[in-house]
Amino acid sequence: MEIYALVRRAVLAEGMSKRATAKQFGIDRKTVDKICSHSAPPGYRRAQPARRSKLGPYLPVVDAILAADRQAPRKQRHTAKRIFDRLRDEHGFNGGYTTVKDYVRLKRLKMKEAFVPLAHPPGHAQVDFGEALAVIAGKQRKVAVFAMSLPYSDAAFVKVYPQETAEAWCDGHVAAFAHFGATPLSILYDNSKRIVARIHGDGTRQRTQMFSGLVSHYLFEDRYGRPGRGNDKGKVENLVGFARRNFLVPIPRASSFDELNARLAERCRKREGDRLRGKEGTIGERLNEDKAAFCDLPGGTYEACDQRPGQATSQALVRYRTADYSVPSEYAHRQVLIKGYVDKVVISVGTDVIACHERPYERNDVVFDPLHYLALLEKKPNALDQAAPLKGWDLPEAFAEFRRLAEARMGRNGKREYIQVLRLLETFRIDQVERGTRTPCG
């Protein structure tokens, strides 16, 4: 750089000729011309693209491989070494690896997508689901993470569920709207099959029946990104990762989903006091502008549940998704209406609710309520000891003592009398019936 500056000063400031300058500094006259043309060394500049004489005939093959890789799983795409091996083994390429590697690197740079920075007006939201690990009731399990992001204010709502189901999608919206106290003007989604039943040729979406009911009740506009393009809703994509790293590390432990979700809601509220780099005011201050653009919550109630008809079997079991649920034996073979919520399954006939069970998420599980089978067992007392619905029914010791004394006193009829006592649990609390068993046989 010192010689560079001296040459420029000699020619441009002191008026020395380029020929004399070249002779004085011992450099070529063309070099003097270049120095005078640039205030700093321009570096090496290639006049035309590098020639790849050996690779040239094989470039269409390489381009086709790279294009096909865009549809392949990220972890099963070609490396430059694998492309080189295929060119050599399948196409007879006899050039070097470096030539292939340099071309692949430049080609992949050109294939990368560029993005336009976006400005988000107040009043809109984005929603997505992610996955994380949590310990619930002492058991480590994978949980589905519902996230709603407000891009203008960066406010967030996060809630976890046992699985990403249609009910969880709708319940998450209801909880988020209650958290913010209003409804966004529009919400941007990906194309999850839980909310989109079909994508038509013109790009319009056909909603699932359950999600259509949610949109109809809250009257927000549902918008969708391009299939397979998560960057269309980058704010909520980033929120899912942020929540996983900040709200769910270390792996959270809770006695129930309700406890964990209460903690997550509190973390979301606490975050509203943060100031983000490049943003004016706190998240909470900008959230007030979001809320000013929101719509009021509608009147009435919305049930975030999946409704479908069903039929009880001869064993008084109703199938819903991957599990069976008991109903009172008198409803065997009857048509029923099933409502599947996130945490429970409610079964009704007409306007009467006949069964309500906690919802499991294990496949092929059977959920019994022993009370549903007592009327049938009274007619078939010999099935008492083999009755699957009564297995694991934890009753006070006084019930077993009553049965022993009743059968000793009445023989076979004692078993039926014991069942009749159990049927009192259909009406009375267990502690009340327990006290009653001690009176006649005590």
- What pLDDT, in 10s, does the model give residues 230-275? 556 778 999 999 999 999 999 999 999 999 999 999 999 999 999 9
Tokens representing 60 are: 């269409």
Task: Provide the pairing of β-strand 196-199 with 186-189.
Answer: unpaired
> For the chain, what is the mean pLDDT?
91
> If you average pLDDT over residues 377-391, what whole number do you get?
94
> If you average pLDDT over residues 419-439, what whole number do you get?
90
- What pLDDT, in 10s, does the model give residues 288-339? 999 999 999 998 889 999 999 999 999 999 999 989 999 999 999 999 999 9
Tokens representing 414 are: 């004692």
pLDDT at 116 over 90: no
> If you average pLDDT over residues 180-184, what whole number do you get?
97
**DSSP, res 298:** P
- What pLDDT, in 10s, does the model give residues 27-85? 898 888 888 888 777 766 666 666 667 898 999 999 999 999 988 988 899 999 999 99
List strand residue ranges (DSSP E) for 211-343, in order. 221-224, 253-254, 306-311, 317-320, 323-326, 335-340
Return the residue matching tokens 């009340």. 432
The CA distance from 345 to 252, in Å, is 27
pLDDT at 441 over 50: no
Chain centroid offset of residue 172 CA: 11
CB 329 within 8 A of CB 316: yes
Q: Is the pTM of this model over 0.85?
A: no
Neighbour order of strands in the sheet with 317-320: 317-320, 323-326, 365-367
The CA distance from 341 to 389, in Å, is 23
pLDDT at 134 over 90: yes
Which pLDDT does position 442 carry in this prediction?
A: 42
The CA distance from 303 to 3, in Å, is 81
